[in-house]
A and B are shown apart, each in its own frame.
Chain A
Amino acid sequence: MMTRIATLLTTVLLGTAAMAEDIKLAVTTSFENSGLADVLLPAIKEDLDLDVQLLVVGTGQALRLGQAGDVDAILVHSRTAEEKFVAEGHGTYRREIMYNDFVFIGPKEDPAGVAKAGSAAEALKRIGVVKPAFVSRGDDSGTHKKEIALWRAADLAPDTFGDWYREVGAGMGASLNTAAGLDAYVLADRASWLNFGNKADLDLLYAGDAALFNQYAFLAVNPEKHAHVRNDLAVQLEDWLTSPRAAELINGYTINGETLFIFNAKPE
């Protein structure tokens, strides 16, 4: 009996294979949910023979991972937090890669009349007046930070809101699921929304204000702080992400015919 179990176990356990060069990159949930990674990663593997291991977390946690040296580089979208990261010496600089935009999602009936708003601030003011259910990420992610900034721009303070303002403390997908269940308003990035499978009675209500643009930047972890990080690979990856080939793939990526990301990296 024991020998048979032992044989079975060894066959199962000896499954670890050796891997090529790999780099750990912390990215935001919105980037992963967009599906762009599925296009870029195979191309990176082909061009650089580099396995990019994605850690999909909120921007807050991504920056923490970079600070601790647990990843080699991060790709996030929260300018103030990124600049603080660089100022504290965890990274040497930030490199802008591309942008997409945020959109207001809500119930098709649109009780607050967000669709008729003229600007992002006006859309939020309308929500603040009618007080329909509103789902907030509440997880210190880039999207959450953006949402807070937008409320401030509309002269409203989310911490004074009542029960209708629900902080779920979850990723973009989970928040959209909650919004679908509650028939609530939610701020999402366009890519996650288009790729989201459980739309229920929700619809895209407002988009297009320049305040809703969402800039992604690449930050390599400072090798002087963490000697073990693969800065050489991070630099290779950065060069690739800012190359014409990446531009072509990023600009050419569409869902249902809609372009999601616009490449805007400047050559050094």
Chain B
Amino acid sequence: MNDILEGLVSAFWLVVTFDTDLMQISLRSLQVSLSALVIASVIALPLGTFLAIRRFRYRRLTISLLNALMGLPPVVVGLIVYILLSRSGPFGVLGLLFTPTAMIIAQVIIITPLIASITHQAMRELWAEYHDLLISLNTSGWQRIKTLIWDGRRNLLTASLAGFGRAIGEVGAIMIVGGNIDNATRVLTTAIALETGKGDFALALALGFVLIALAIGINISIHWLSRTEREGRW
């Protein structure tokens, strides 16, 4: 109990004194996870929608696979990305290992199936409503996807935010591919793991509270920017 209180107090001081290390680490966390979120959304939102409206041979299999991949263990993703990007691996020449780019790649792999699955669920219901209208208007496949994405944007926001939550709180994969290098690839979660290892629970907890606050802040500001949950709008 005492540790938690101490953690809260030191979190407070770290934030009010604008601790430069903390700022840098937090910004890097945001940079990595938001980049991963944007890339994953660009892939997953159209993919999920496509799966909802198109009937093709292996659709059921694709959807089951996607659902299963939601539970992809981050350490395994980290290990695979590590082996691929290692100097002795197939993409070694790019020299990407232990850079923020490697961390973004790992997180994209982790969150894309999650976002695509939630998108697919939401879009399936919307498609049931829009089906007759869009068919009778003789729209092309791409037009249908665009319409659904636009009209279902609130649900998609939830899908993306779920992905963001998984990305920013993830430690297993980015620890392996990023290496937790001070001033280069250290982010909030890996810093927390490091401080716990040193037995400095107060600082670890403080960083944890900052991470939680950051996640809440991003969620609120995205809702605010996109004006959801306001009076007069659905």
Contacts and interface: CB of A to CB of B under 8 A. Distances in A.
Interface of A: 1, 4-5, 8-9, 12-13, 15-16, 19, 22, 24, 29, 33, 51, 53-57, 67-70, 171-174, 176-177, 180, 195-199, 226, 228
B196 A173 contact: yes
A1 B225 contact: yes
12 contacts: A12-B27, A12-B31, A29-B197, A54-B182, A55-B98, A56-B180, A56-B194, A67-B88, A68-B86, A68-B88, A68-B89, A69-B87
Contact of A228 (B35, B86, B87, B199): B87
Contacts of B77: none
Contacts of A22: 184
Contact of B200 (A5, A68, A197): A197
Grouping DSSP codes into helix (H, G, I), strand (E, B) and loop, the A interface class, with mixed when no group exceeds half, is mixed
B98 A12 contact: no
A16 B182 CA distance: 15
B181 interface: yes
B181 to A, nearest CB: 4
A7 to B, nearest CB: 10
A53 B184 contact: yes
B60 interface: no
A5 B226 contact: yes
Given A4-B225, A5-B226, A56-B180, A15 B199 contact: no
B100 A9 contact: no
A24 B98 contact: yes
A54 B197 contact: no
B22 interface: no
Contact of A8 (B31, B182, B196, B225): B225
A33 B199 CA distance: 10
B212 interface: no
Contacts of A12: 27, 30-31, 34
Contact of B197 (A174, A199, A226): A174
Contact of B87 (A1, A15, A70): A70
A195 B100 contact: no
- Give 5 closest A-B pairs by Cβ, nearest first: A173-B197, A198-B199, A197-B199, A69-B87, A68-B88
A197 B225 contact: no
B183 interface: yes
Contact residues on B (Cβ < 8 Å of other chain), bracket: 20 to 34
A5 B222 contact: yes
A145 B34 CA distance: 41
B91 interface: no
Given A55-B98, A197-B200, A198-B201, A13 B31 contact: yes
B23 to A, nearest CB: 11
Contacts of B197: 29, 33, 171-174, 177
Contact of B27 (A15, A56, A172, A198): A15
Contacts of A69: 87-88, 92
Given A12-B30, A174-B197, A197-B199, A226 B87 contact: yes
A209 B86 CA distance: 40
B124 interface: no
A172 B86 CA distance: 26
A68 B87 contact: yes
Q: Which of B34, B87, B95, B221 has the largest number of chain A CB atoms within 10 A?
A: B87
Interface string B97-111: 110100000000000
Nearest to A26: B179
Contacts of B183: 51, 53
Contact of B38 (A9, A55, A174): A9
Contacts of B201: 197-198
B111 to A, nearest CB: 16
A22 B184 CA distance: 10
